[in-house]
Amino acid sequence: MARPTSATIHTDALRHNLGQIRLRAPDSRVMAVVKADGYGHGLERVARALGGADAFGVASLSDAERLRAAGISQPILLLSGFDEPADIERLRQLHVDTAVHHETQVQMLEQAADGEPVRCWLKVDSGMHRLGFAPEVVRDMHARLAALHGVVGEIVLMNHFASSDEFDGPQTREQMRVFSDATSGLPGQRSLANSAAVLGWPTAHADWVRPGGAMYGMSVVAGTSGADFDLRPAMTLATRLIAVNTLHRGDCVGYAGTWSCPEDMRVGVAAIGYGDGYPRAAPAGTPVLVDGRAAQVIGRISMDLMTIDLRGHDEARVGSPVILWGPELPVERIADVAGTISYELTCSITRRVRFVEA
C-alpha cells in the first residue's frame, strides 16, 4: 500500500488568486512567479493553471526550459539573470527575457556573438542590497544596454522590496523614492511590486506586478493568512493515522522523551515527518486537524512520523484523515509556531509525497 501522505493542489484556488491580484492591480500586467517548482506546488501544473497570467518569472534557465517544453508560450523572465556567456544563446533559443543586475552581465552582452536580440530588465538596487545596480550607475548601465544591437526593445526597469510586508513602513517608501530618482526620465516600463507590495502598496503597482506567494494563497504579513486578503490556499497537505495507542500517565512520547502524558490517554501516530518536508522545528502544541477537528502535535517530529494528542477524539481510529495545512488550517499558522514562513514550508515538500491535482 502506498504511503498515505499527499499534497492536493487546488488549481481553482490558483486561478482565483490571479483574479484577486488583477482586482488589486487593475492597471498592471501580472507576472506569476513560479520559481522553486512553483513554490513547491509543481512548476508545470501551476503554469497550466495560470494560463491567464501575462508572463512567468523563474530563477533558473532549467525552469524556463521546462516551461517551454510544457508548451507555455507567455513571456518568461529569468529573475536572477544569466551567469555565463553560453547562457545568452540559450536565452535566445527559448525566447526568455533576462534580468541584468551586474556590470559583468553587461560586458557579456557587449561581447556576445551576433544573434537574436534579448529583452532585458535592468535591476536597480534601491535598498535591498542584494542584486541590482547602485542608483548612481543606473543611467550609465541603461545607456550601455540600449546601445547594443543584441538587446531588443525598451529596457524594463525593476527593483525588489526588502520589507514591503510592513505596510506603511519607512523602508519601502524610501526604496520607491530611490528607484524613482534613479530612473527618472528613462524610457521603459517599470516593475516594483512583489506579493506584499501588491497587497499593501498600491502606489508601487506600476506597469508590472510580480506576485509569488500571494499567487498560492499565502501571506507573509505578520499575524495574517492569505484568507485575510481574499486569497485561497492552493495546497492541502494531508496524511492518515497509522496507529492509535493507549498510553499511561507519565509515559514519554517520541525521541528524547521531551513530552510525557499528563494522564492516561490515546495517542495517534500519523504518517508524516521531516522526510516529507514537514518542519522538524514544529513544537508540541502545533495544530493539526484529525477527522476535521482541532488536535495538537506532541513529542518531536521524526523523519517519517508524528504523534498527536487524541484526547477528545474518541472517534479517531487507524485510517482517520489528518490535515497538516490547507483551507481549514492556514499554513501561516504552522509557519508561525515553527519559526519560519509559509513559503519555506510549501517549498520543502519532498518527492515521496504524492501530488494530487484538484
Contacts of 61 (CB under 8 A, 6+ apart): 78, 82, 87, 90, 91, 94, 96
Q: Give the whole-angstrom CA distance, residue 248 versus residue 261.
A: 7
List, in sequence order, every beta strand (DSSP E) within the chain. 6-9, 29-33, 55-58, 76-78, 97-100, 120-123, 156-158, 190-193, 208-209, 235-247, 252-253, 259-260, 265-270, 287-290, 293-298, 306-309, 321-325, 354-357
DSSP conformational letter for 332:
H
Cell output for 223: 499575524
Cell output for 40: 513547491
Is 255 annotated in the active site? yes
Q: Is 190 annotated as a binding residue?
A: no
3-state SS assignment for residue 8: strand
Q: Is 303 annotated as a binding residue?
A: yes
Please, are residues 157 and 192 in contact by the beta-carbon 8 Å criterion? Answer: no
Considering the candidates 39, 123, 216, 255, report the single residue annotated as catalytic: 255
3-state SS assignment for residue 298: strand
Is 216 annotated in the active site? no
Considering the candidates 35, 123, 216, 278, report the single residue annotated as catalytic: 35
Residue 36: what are its φ and ψ, rounded to 5°? 55, 45
Q: Give the whole-angstrom CA distance, residue 170 versus residue 193.
A: 16
| Bind-site residues | 130, 303
Query: Which residues are identified as catalytic?
Result: 35, 255
Q: Show binding-site residues for substrate.
A: 130, 303
